[in-house]
Every structure is written in structure tokens, then in C-alpha cells.
Amino acid sequence: MRRKRLLPMADGSLANQRPSAGEHRIQARHEFRGLRTVEHYFTVPLVHQAEVPGETITIFAREYSSTDHSAVEASKLPWLLFLQGGPGGRGNRVTSLSGWMKAAAKDFRILMLDQRGTGLSAPIERQSLELQGDAAAQAEYLTHFRADSIVADAEHIRAVLGSGPWSVLGQSFGGFCALTYLSFAPEGLREVLITGGLAPLHGAADRVYQATFRRVAARNAEYFSWYPEDREKVTRIARHLEQHTELMASGERLTPERFQMVGSFLGGNTRVDALHYLLEDAFIDTPSGERLSETFLEQVRGLVSRAANPLYAVLHESIYGQGEATNWAAWRVLEDYPEFKPEAEEPLLTGEMVYPWYFEQDPALVPLRDVAEQLAARKDWKPLYDPTRLASNTVPVAAAVYKDDIYVDHDLSLETAAAVRGLQTWVTSDFHHDGIGEDGEGIFGRLFGMVRATR
């Protein structure tokens, strides 16, 4: 049942009253450029299934529908829940329906969830974490921001909305969450679509990075075969940064290892060629000799700073944590891949790996260093998947698996697909991890057709 949130009285008598779990309010409705939006705020428990009701948090979700449907018609459409990549990625803010959303809006109302800790859903930043107390208290608080809690939020919201089993589309980490959903609350699912997001169901985080380091190395080789001049340029920039102090506009120093983070461009077809345009802006002549240009440094700043999504760095390896410490897995596995070290003769660009030095060099992360250390050492992570339940799955599932994905390994993805009863895969080399951004309409249509064909 929908309940309105109580507002403070003029005398302030309710000013300190905490909203109770289950409250739901609609903030605003808007209509523009062929789409209709509704802003939803839900109050949910911080800890679901807690023995004693405790702290609550606010979860935000924006509903999107097409004006091709009247408001009354749209209110009767079934729901499609979108689970964004991450961790730490908020729901998409769009100003028109295009790509997969254009395709989905023909048949669904889309619920674009800001997963807890992101966007307007109890956002996690160093300032907000300070409310929890010391580093130990902050780390404990963050254990409630993984996929199991995100799924519990989704089920809570589904019940509040009065929806029957709904459809889910999970991109990247959103696909990991969808697998958790299938493991612990499959009764809430009508069908599941996954793009670039089949997580390994077991094993240490190390096996993930053993696989992805190899993929990133191969992608470097492919890129440098297209732009051989950039092989020398990358090495030249790394050597320059060893010998000169280059400051970004924020005052942060750009180090060789932070520069290597521009390898994030390698994760997609739609962005990879833009790396060449970035690198060509690198150097400029000055009275003191050759230096890195402000144009280049400003572009790089947006790629190497985690100020906009610190949760990504803090919780990244925990998404692979099940019953044992991750213990900075990527940093340890790096020892097997010296070609990625900045001092290598021809250093390679890196992928999405998170290293301890992030929390020493990125001002947005420095205050979270002790928290990150405690999370890396944590041994009692709860399981995120139930292999037995997945083996007997009855929910239609279709997944796009990208052969050369540098973030979610193809081989590990197929291992997972084989462990989920009835999961259909579409394996393709036409796209990389950002496929849904390149041809979302086509990918959604194909996966949707696959799940509906099983009914």
C-alpha cells in the first residue's frame, strides 16, 4: 500500500522522526521529448531481514515511459527494472528515449534504479561516510552496499509498487546483481536480460584478474596495431611523468601509474579510437621545454579521478568476495604481469583494476584508505550466489557475452552460463563491454526475443 511520507509540523514535532521502512513518495512528474518521467523515493531498511528494525535509507528510482502511450496506458504497462553497471554507478539520466530504452519503452515502464550508495540513494562519499564514525564503522556500513542488499531493495520496491514478477535488464555489474536476484529471490522475476555481466560464481578474486590482465594485454596489442605511433607516445608520456612533475588543474600530480588508467578507453568499440585523439593532445612546447598540455591534463583528470564515484574503488573487489578476503587481488596478480608496471620498457595501459596506491594518490580516496584496507582484509563476506538454486533455475534468462570483453572475461562468463539452468547465451565479437551503448536497441531486441521464445 502506498503511504505518503510524514512532513514536519510547524512546531517541528516530527523533525527528528525517522521515516519507517515501506514509505513511498512521488516527488515530481515531467514530460518532454517523447518521454514521461516519475521520480520515486522509497524508504527501505539498511539491513534487510534484521531481527530488530533499525536504520533506514532512502532509495531513488526514476520511472521512464513513452508518450506514445497515454499516462493511463503507461500506468498499466509491466515494469522493466534496469540495474546499472558499477559498483558505484548511478542510474542513467536521459533526456530522450533512444537505444535499448527506446526499444524497451514499447512494452514496458522502465524503472531506472539508483542502487544504494549512488545518485540519490543514500549516496556514498567521504563526507557522508563520516556520519558512520571511525574507519571500522564505515567499513561495516559499506558491507550493506553489495549486490545482495541491492536485490533486497529491488524486491522491497517491487512489493511497494504492487508489481507481480518483473523483467530485469542488468548491464555489467548490474548483470552480477541479476545473478544474485536469480539466486535468492527468483520468485520476483519474470525474465532476465544480461549484457556483459555474467560473474564467476565461485573462486577467489585472483582468477578474475588472471583472466582480465590477459584480455587487457591483448587489447593493448590490438590497439597499437591500429595506431603504431601511439606505442611510442604512451612510453614517452610515462617516461616524461617519471622525470617531471605535471599537475592537473585540481592540483593533483599525474603519475605514470595514474596515466596508465586511460586504458579505460580500451573497454569499448565506441570509445577505443578516442584514445588516439587524447594521446595526440599530449605534448606542447613551452619556454621551459616540452610539457604535457593543459588540454591533455584536463581530459586525463576526468579519467583518473574517483571523486564522482568513490564507491567504485572502495567496493570494487568486494563484488568478487565470497567467504574469503580479496586482499588487493589485482595488485597481487599484477606481479605475474610486469608489462603493466609503469617502469616496464614499454608499459601497457590498464583496465578497471583497483590498486592500493589509488588511496594514496587520488585526493577523493585518501580519506578512505583505512576503510579500503579493512574491506580488503575482510574474510566473512556472505555468498552472493546460490549455485544449487541456479542449477534448478526456471526463470527465462538470456545473456550477451562479448568475446573480447576486457572487464568480464568471456571464458568465465561461459562457465557461469553453463551453471545456470536454461540460460541462453549470445556470444559475439561484434561488441565490447559498452555494446549496449553502441547498439542498445539491437541487443535488447535480440535478448528479449530469446527469452520470449522460451514461453
- The grid coordinates listed for 296 are 591533455
Residue 262 has a pLDDT of: 97
Residue 351 has a pLDDT of: 83
Helix (H, G, I), strand (E, B) or coil at 28: strand
Summarised one tens digit per residue, pLDDT across range 366-375 is: 999 999 999 9
Q: Indicate if 156 belongs to the active site.
A: no
CA-based nearest residue to 330, from 318, 343, 322: 318
Residue 166 has a pLDDT of: 98
The alpha carbon torsion through 300, 343, 356, 170 (nearest 10 deg) reads: 60
pLDDT per 10-residue tile (average), the chain, 455 residues: 32 45 91 96 94 90 97 96 95 96 98 98 94 96 97 98 98 98 98 97 95 97 98 98 96 97 93 96 96 98 94 96 94 97 97 94 96 96 97 98 96 98 97 94 97 87
Residue 39 has a pLDDT of: 98
Q: What is the pTM of this model?
A: 0.93
Q: Is residue 51 exposed (0-12), middle (13-18) or buried (19+ Cβ within 10 Å)?
A: exposed
Handedness of CA 62, 66, 72, 73 (dihedral sign): negative
Give all domains of the chain, ordered by start, each with its CATH number: 24-202+385-453 (3.40.50.1820), 205-377 (no CATH)
Between CA 108 and CA 78 the distance in angstroms is 5
Summarised one tens digit per residue, pLDDT across range 404-442 is: 999 999 999 999 999 999 999 999 999 999 999 999 999
**Catalytic hit among 225, 285, 288, 380:** 380
Q: Indicate if 433 belongs to the active site.
A: yes
- The grid coordinates listed for 333 are 596478480
Q: Assess contact for 282 and 293: CB atoms under 8 A.
A: yes
Between CA 195 and CA 427 the distance in angstroms is 11
What DSSP line would sit under 33-56, residue for residue? TTEEEEEEEEEEESSTT-SS---E
Q: How many helices (DSSP H) and strands (DSSP E) are in the chain?
A: 18, 11
- How many alpha carbons fall within 13 Å on the CB side of residue 364? 16
Residue 10 has a pLDDT of: 33
**Catalytic hit among 172, 183, 305, 318:** 172
Residue 436 has a pLDDT of: 95
Residue 4 has a pLDDT of: 32
Residue 51 has a pLDDT of: 72
**Catalytic hit among 24, 156, 240, 433:** 433
Residue 270 has a pLDDT of: 82
Q: Indicate if 172 belongs to the active site.
A: yes
